[in-house]
Amino acid sequence: MMDGEIFTATLVPSGNMTPNSSMTLEQKTTFAFVILLFIFLGILIVRCFRIILDPYQSMPTSTWADGLDGLEKGQFDYALA
């Protein structure tokens, strides 16, 4: 690199060129899809933190054998036959 050289940025357009700021349909669709994915990710993060903070809230209070009359928990397979 020489001391006298002046480097121009390639990302900055020159003064006589107007940048094309309109997005194509594919770019708009991709942008909307990415936004929806971020919203879905946020919902999942909130749900996971709620489960971590209170894991017993989402568990049902009844057991799977409460509805069986006169049967023990190990006899469920015989009730189906």
pLDDT tens-digit series, residues 7-39: 555 555 555 655 566 889 999 999 999 999 999
> Residue 27 has which token pair?
């770019």
Which stretch, 3-7, 36-40, 74-78, has highest mean pLDDT? 36-40
Q: Are 41 and 49 in contact (CB under 8 A)?
A: no
> Residue 30 has which token pair?
């991709």
Sign of the dihedral through C-alpha 59, 60, 62, 64 = negative
Residue 5 DSSP label: -
Token look-up 């121009």 returns 8
Element (H, E) at 10: none
Token look-up 């991709």 returns 30
pTM of the predicted model as reported, rounded to 2 decimal places: 0.46
